Amino acid sequence: MAIDETLNIEAHKDNFSLEDFLAARAKTWEAINRISERIYVGMLEEEANEIVKTTLQEMGTRQGWHKPYVHFGLNTTKTLFETPEPGVKLGENDIYFIDIAPVWNGYEGDAGHTFVTGSNPELKRCALDTKRIFGLVADKWRTESTSGQALYEFAAQIARELGWILNLRMDGHRLADFPHTAYHAGKLSAVPFHPSPNLWVLEIQIRHPDKSFGGFYEDILCD
């Protein structure tokens, strides 16, 4: 890839504010925490998704660059691109994740996190390993001149070693001043160079090899 094309992929507006961009990240994580506090056992997944919309509106945004969503139980194996099973309730020993992409004052947020109800050790390990894999991949990015392609090869390897399957359809992307697709609509997993800080989202979605549950975690690759 030519250097000028790489720079174009990692471009943003001339008046781009890193401070405002990171503030959008912080507010996105605040929203995830608020949403999780309103989710309870016995709730329908459809009700949880209404809570997402209400919470984001209360926090001052009605705009997102992708549809926000919550997945319960068996739907945690599905991606943003798949239709979830309807009428799924959150159980006493269950797993769910939240994935939101709000726009705050012209800057994109994007974050996802997995939560567990009850004390099922397998579900707890799934939630912990999802974030653990993210952390190991992010550390590799920070310490080595690793390409986006190599990061996801490493993520798949770590997931296998921990007993999970990595969903490679959730494979990272640019993030920026809205809309990031004006600069690059492709995936982090296809990037043949070392991604710069504060521009790329690392997505990790895993699932059990035999059972119908999984986990999801995503955040910006930043110093």
Higher pLDDT, 179 or 148: 148
State the CATH class of domain 3-220.
Answer: alpha beta
Measure the N-to-C terminal CA separation of the chain; round to a whole number of Å: 25
Distance (Å, whole) CA 33 – CA 108: 18
pLDDT tens, residue by residue, 72-127: 999 999 988 889 999 999 999 999 999 999 999 999 999 999 999 999 999 999 99
Query: pTM (2 decimals)?
Result: 0.93
Distance (Å, whole) CA 183 – CA 185: 7
Whole-number pLDDT of residue 3: 39
Domain ranges, ordered by start, for the chain: 3-220
